[in-house]
Amino acid sequence: MIRHVVAWKLNAPDEEGRAAQAAAIQAALAPLPAIIPEIKSFSIGANVAFPDTNWDLCLVADYDDLAGLEAYQVHPEHVAATKVVKPLVASRASVDFEL
């Protein structure tokens, strides 16, 4: 099993703007588990504590194997969602590890 973790710092200058950006990203990504069968579990959420030091939004998803993660990365619906995400992001960090 592979766990895919992504954290984003959003580019809006204020808390209200970052909240709107987080909602837009969540709306773009949340439908993917119902569309992409390789996704075995999926959660996404906006930060609720320590906004000065924590990242703004995080996604955690699990796949059976690296091939499943790779299939997700190139799936047309994921690629379309990234077109919503990328313009809203100042920084991105990701880690993929075996469970």
pTM for this predicted structure: 0.93
- Enter the tokens of residue 81: 């969602």
Cβ count near 39 (within 10 Å): 21
The pLDDT-based confidence of 27 (bands split at 50, 70, 90) is: very high
d(CA 14, CA 69): 33
What average pLDDT score do residues 69-86 get?
A: 98
Average pLDDT, integer, range 35-57: 96
The domain that holds 75 is classified in CATH as 3.30.70.100
Alpha carbons 32 and 42: distance in angstroms, whole number = 9
Instruction: Report which of residues 24 and 51 the model is more confident about.
Output: 24
Q: In the prediction, which pLDDT does 47 show?
A: 95
Please check whether residue 57 is in contact with residue 94, taking contact to mean a CB–CB distance below 8 angstroms. no
Domain that holds residue 24: 2-98
Looking at the 3D structure of the chain, how many domains does it have?
Answer: 1
23 to 17, 46, 68, 74: CA distances (angstroms): 10, 8, 26, 23
**pLDDT the model gives residue 99:** 97
